[in-house]
Every structure is written in structure tokens, then in C-alpha cells.
Amino acid sequence: MVKEEVKKEFIDNKRTEIISELREYLKEVNHFMTIDQILVEVYEDDSEDAFDHLVIKLAENDRMSDLELAQEFAMELFNYFPRKSLGGKSMVEEMLFGELKKMEEAFQDFKNGTATSNYSYSLSKKKVKDLERQ
């Protein structure tokens, strides 16, 4: 039971961190979406393209589009926040705490540019154009 409480606290802290960073990003780039709108998008992931759609929406802003940063946010949002497709839970809530910590370490290495494995996601230019037309 203690491990579950530690896991819940870890997830809650990570969600707070993600929201804080997202709030800063949205303000910095004068983004048109609110955090609440973004979390609804994550929760309502009703198609295979939901992740890619969110990446594109997050990359749309007053500055030059930053697709890599948008992908990082989308990965964290889809991992840590509840989704209808997962019965109202997040992916990390379904993971064992040890697996969660390994995933988080690998993601932090990826964000810092120190990843030693193939931990990445790439949205092709063709996919971006196809999704923008929808």
C-alpha cells in the first residue's frame, strides 16, 4: 500500500510540473489554447490520430512552430493525464512504479539530449500536412 501512495504522489507531482511548464510555454508563445482545452483534448483521445493532432495544435503559435517541444509536451500529457480510452486513467497509473521510474528517466535523458536508446517520436512532414487538412 505504501508503494501505491508513493506512486500516486510521484504522478501528482509530475502532473503539477507538466502543467507548470505547459502554462509557461502557452504564455511565452501566445498560444490560443488553454490548459483546460488541452486536457480535454487528451482525455477525449478518440482516434489513432489524436496524439498527432495534439502535437500540431501545440506547435501552432505566434512564433516559429516548435514541433519537437510540442511532441515532448504531447508525450507527457498522454502518459500522465487521464484518457477516456483508458477508462479515465492515465497510462502511468496502469504501470508498475519501477517501470514508471525507468520510463521517466529515459524521457528525461531524451529531453536533455543524453538518451542512449531509441527513445523518440517523429511526426513526418507528410503526416503533418495530412492532419492539417482535416
Q: How much is the pLDDT for 87?
A: 93
Q: How much is the pLDDT for 67?
A: 82
Q: How much is the pLDDT for 126?
A: 52
Residue 55: closest CA among 110, 133, 127: 127
Q: How much is the pLDDT for 121?
A: 44
Q: How many domains is the chain built from?
A: 1
Q: How much is the pLDDT for 115?
A: 62
Q: CA-to-CA distance for 89 and 107, rounded, in angstroms? A: 20
Residue 19: closest CA among 41, 32, 2, 38: 38
Q: Are 25 and 69 in contact (CB under 8 A)?
A: yes
Mean pLDDT in order along the chain per 10 residues (134 residues)? 85 96 92 95 89 90 73 93 94 86 79 61 48 48
Residues of the domain holding 51 = 2-133
